[in-house]
């Protein structure tokens, strides 16, 4: 697995061993960032981060900072290793539950321009209600939420749907909160 684009293009990433992590493939990562567009100076929240490939890709493409969240100790070690080997200081790794982090980010008033969600495919249905309740409070005005699920799942969140596309066994669904977006200056 490698970084696809940006300042660290072509650099290798490590992923934790075992069955708990399913790294997002290169093709799907490339498609995700094609859908999202430029991430220059964005604050990114990478939930269910696994190897950190999505957030690391965002940092390589110019994001200002990324908070990586995963409960698995091996995944957090892999992310820290990747940050160190790429000499990226803009990453913070939290070994915590995603919903607890969403509550903390909301309570602290922190908002992110890009929120990446890549939970285990089989857990989406169980996680969706909690995520739906917590996500809107951490999305910056005009920010994006990208959800990766199995191809047959069509996630729903209380945000505006931008697009949903299948890539092999994966689906990427992009949401935004245009209702909270600032009005253009007259």
pLDDT of residue 183: 43
What would the pLDDT profile of 122-132 be if each residue is shown by its tens digit?
999 999 999 99
For all residues of the chain together, what is the average pLDDT? 90
- 22-79 residue pLDDT tens: 566 778 889 999 999 999 999 999 999 998 999 999 999 999 999 999 999 999 999 9
As a whole number, mean pLDDT of residues 69-93 equals 95
Closest Cα to residue 45, out of 126, 104, 124, 86? 104
pLDDT of residue 21: 55
The per-residue DSSP string of 117-137 comes to E---GGGHHHHHHHHHHHGGG
pLDDT (0 to 100) of residue 18: 58
In this prediction, residue 29 carries a pLDDT of 87
A 10 A CB-CB count for 181 gives 13
Domain boundaries defined on the chain: 26-180
CATH topology of domain 26-180: Rossmann fold (3.40.50)
* 155 vs 9, higher pLDDT: 155
DSSP 23-69: PPPHHHHHHHHHHH---TT-EEEEET-TT-HHHHHHHHTT-SEEEEE
* Cβ–Cβ under 8 Å, residues 64 and 42: yes
CA pair distance 182, 180, nearest whole angstrom = 6
> What pLDDT is attached to residue 14?
82
State the pTM of this model: 0.90
Q: Which of residues 13 and 20 earns the better pLDDT score?
A: 13
């Amino acid at each position: 697995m490698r970084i696809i684009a940006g300042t660290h293009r072509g650099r290798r990433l490590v992923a934790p061993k075992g069955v708990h992590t399913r790294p997002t493939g290169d093709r799907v990562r490339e498609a995700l960032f094609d859908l999202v567009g430029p991430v220059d100076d964005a604050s990114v929240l990478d939930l269910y981060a696994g190897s950190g490939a999505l957030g690391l890709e965002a940092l390589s493409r110019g994001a200002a900072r990324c908070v990586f969240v995963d409960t698995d100790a091996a995944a957090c070690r892999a992310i820290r290793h990747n940050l160190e080997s790429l000499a990226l200081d803009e990453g913070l790794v939290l070994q915590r539950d995603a919903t607890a982090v969403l509550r903390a980010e909301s309570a602290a008033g922190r908002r992110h321009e890009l929120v990446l969600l890549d939970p285990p495919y089989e857990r989406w249905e169980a996680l969706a209600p909690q995520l739906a309740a917590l996500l809107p409070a951490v999305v910056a005005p005009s920010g994006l939420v990208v959800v990766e699920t199995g191809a047959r799942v069509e996630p729903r969140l209380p945000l505006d749907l931008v697009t949903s596309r299948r890539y092999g066994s994966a689906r990427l669904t992009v949401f935004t909160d245009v209702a909270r977006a600032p009005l253009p200056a007259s």
